[in-house]
Structure formats: C-alpha cells, structure tokens
C-alpha cells in the first residue's frame, strides 16, 4: 500500500491511487499518541458493559454465537471531541474534497473492536454500495467510474495479520461488484497493517473485510464513512447529537453533517426566491 507522511500527501496522486491503483493509501502517524489513547479510552468505556449494537457482515459470527467478541460504538461525535478532530483532519479534508467534491459529507463515524478470539467479516463493499449483492435494486449500469464513498480507518491497536487487520484485494474498486465465494478473496487479499495513529484511506468499492483476531490483544479502530453531498448518509447524525454540539460545530463539521446542502427541503414553504442557477 502506498504510504504518505501527512506533510507530503499529494491529493492528485492519492486520488489517482484510490481510483486507478490499489484503492487504498496509508498516512503514517497521522494522529498523536494522546489522541489515540483518548479515543481508545472513550470507546472502551462505551462498549465494555453496554448492550449489544447493530453490526454488519457478521452472519457467520451470529450463527456461531460469537457476536459478543466484536463490538461497535456508533455516533462517536457525541462521545468525545477527539472524534470531530479525527473526522476533520486537514489532510483528510483536502484529499476527500478532491475525491468526493468540496461539498462532501460524513455518512458514519463508529468504532469496531474485535476482541481476542473474535470473528472476521464476510468480504464486502461499503455503504452506499453495501447491498450490491442485490445489484438490481441500484440504477442500471452503476459502476465505480466515480466514487460515491471513501472510508477512513484510524488504527487504535496494532493491526497485524494475527490481530485481524482489515483484508482487501487491491484494484477491485475498479469493477463495482459484490465479492462471492468464486472470487477467492482470501487467496488474493493483502492486509492493512499498521500501528496506532496510522490511518488508512480507501475507496469502499474495493473488496475488504475485518479478519478474525487470533492474537492476545484486542484490535480497535475508528471507521469513518464519507459520501458526496447528495448520497443519503448511513447514520442520522444530526438527530443523534446534542443541540449544543450542533450549535457550536466548526464550519468543517457543519459541512460533514450535511448542513451546507439543503435538500430534501420543504420547497412549498422555502423562501420565494430563485434559489439555483449561475445567477
């Protein structure tokens, strides 16, 4: 995987790699140890004792009664300021503006913990393509010639082969398709290996999945999903956030929460002006 230092991240080269190359890049040490420790502490606090939460691509674990060995913490913006800092990191904002358009939004920010002995996922593609196992529910001819998603993984524990670092098949983002048993995913895949603070940015049309954790430590990451401004987001974040946070959000965060793009809107009661056009 191509790896960049934050101060040498060239958006054009990265966008080309996401679209036409391997589909994933890494920023080494993007977040400081203090931010990583803070994020990890909050995520553990919210998931050590909490009730189980919805998860995805874990059909095998559900069958084997292993769901408790993976834990999700949703709606992270409400749980600590560190997550807004992660979501709006200037290097990510710059590259994502180029990749998804300057009006891009955030679809979800959540943690995925896999405890020792915990299960991997079914190989998949991410929201909004993630039900592409039923392609007939999407427009005819939909392809990945332009991106409708970007994924960021902030690594909080060592991501090793043993601990269940995310697996992905480089280049598969070019052919929008949901992987099946005939694709030999596990024969072809590479791993997103890294240290706490390292951050992977990938085009979620690439086939990927969390892998089983066979190490003696847990494996936790913050997963953020970004979308063009007109894609319906996965999490209804404004509905789940405290009023005060919405009122004091930075311009970057307001953009990510969708406040810069007015639709859908009740046009019947909107200001009676010419609202769109060059002039």
Ligand X SMILES: O=C(O)CCC(=O)C(=O)O
Residues lying near ligand X in the complex (CB under 6 A) are found at: 56, 112, 126, 166, 208-210, 221, 223
Three-state DSSP class for 237?
helix
Nearer to ligand X, 92 or 220 (CB): 220
As measured in angstroms, the least distance from the Cβ of 57 to Fe ion is 7
- With respect to Fe ion, which residue has the nearer C-beta, 82 or 205? 205
Residue 14 site contact among ligand X, Fe ion, none (CB < 5 to 8 Å, cut-off depends on kind): none
Instruction: Report the residue number, 179 or 196, with the smaller CB distance to Fe ion.
Output: 179
- The listed partner (Fe ion, ligand X, none) that binds 172, CB under 5 to 8 Å by sort, is none
Compute the least distance from the CB of residue 124 to ligand X, in Å.
6
Site string for Fe ion, 122-141 (x = CB under 5 A): ----x---------------
Which CB, 232 or 254, lies closer to Fe ion? 232
Q: 114: closest CA among 223, 1, 237? A: 223
Neighbouring residues of 112: CB distance < 8 A, sequence distance ≥ 6: 70, 71, 72, 210, 220, 221, 223
Cα–Cα distance measured from residue 147 to residue 149, given in angstroms and rounded to the nearest whole number:
6
Select from Fe ion, ligand X, none the partner in contact with residue 234, using the beta carbon and a kind-dependent cut-off of 5 to 8 Å.
none
**What's the distance, CA 257 to chain centroid?**
15
Select the binding partner of residue 89 from Fe ion, ligand X, none (C-beta < 5 to 8 A, by kind): none
> Do the beta carbons of residue 154 and residue 86 sit within 8 Å?
yes
**Terminal alpha carbon distance of the chain:** 45
- 9 interface partner picked from ligand X, Fe ion, none, CB below 5 to 8 A per type: none
Which residue's CB is nearer to Fe ion, number 151 or number 255? 151
Residues 6 or more apart whose CB falls under 8 angstroms from that of 256 comprise 87, 88, 104, 105, 106, 226
Q: Which helix (H) or strand (E) holds 35?
A: helix 33-47
Smallest distance, Å, CB 78 to Fe ion? 22
> In sequence order, which residues have a C-beta less than 8 Å from that of residue 241 and are 6 or more positions away?
75, 77, 78, 257
At its nearest, how many Å lie between ligand X and the CB of residue 263? 27
């Amino acid at each position: 995987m191509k790896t960049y230092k934050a101060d040498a991240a060239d958006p054009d080269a990265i966008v080309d790699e996401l679209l036409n190359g391997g589909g994933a890049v890494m920023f080494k040490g993007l977040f400081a140890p203090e931010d990583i420790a803070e994020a990890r502490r909050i995520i553990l606090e919210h998931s050590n004792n909490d009730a189980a939460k919805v998860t995805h691509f874990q059909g095998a674990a559900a069958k084997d009664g292993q769901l408790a060995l993976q834990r999700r913490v949703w709606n992270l913006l409400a749980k600590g300021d560190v997550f807004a800092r992660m979501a709006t990191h200037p290097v990510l904002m710059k590259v994502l503006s180029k990749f998804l358009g300057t009006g891009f939004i955030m679809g979800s920010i959540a943690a995925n913990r896999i405890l020792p002995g915990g299960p991997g996922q079914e190989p998949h593609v991410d929201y909004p393509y993630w039900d592409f196992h039923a392609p007939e529910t999407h427009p005819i001819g939909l392809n990945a010639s332009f991106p409708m998603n970007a994924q960021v993984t902030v690594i909080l524990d060592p991501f090793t082969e043993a601990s269940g670092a995310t697996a992905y098949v480089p280049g598969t983002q070019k052919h929008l398709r949901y992987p099946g048993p005939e694709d030999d995913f596990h024969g072809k895949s590479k791993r997103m290996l890294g240290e706490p603070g390292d951050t992977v940015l990938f085009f979620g049309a690439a086939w990927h999945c969390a892998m089983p954790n066979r190490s003696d430590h847990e494996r936790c990451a913050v997963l953020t999903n970004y979308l063009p401004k007109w894609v319906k987001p996965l999490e209804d974040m404004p509905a789940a956030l405290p009023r005060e946070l919405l009122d004091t959000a930075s311009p970057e965060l307001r953009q990510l929460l969708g406040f810069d793009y007015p639709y859908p809107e009740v046009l019947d009661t909107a200001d009676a002006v010419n609202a769109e056009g060059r002039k």
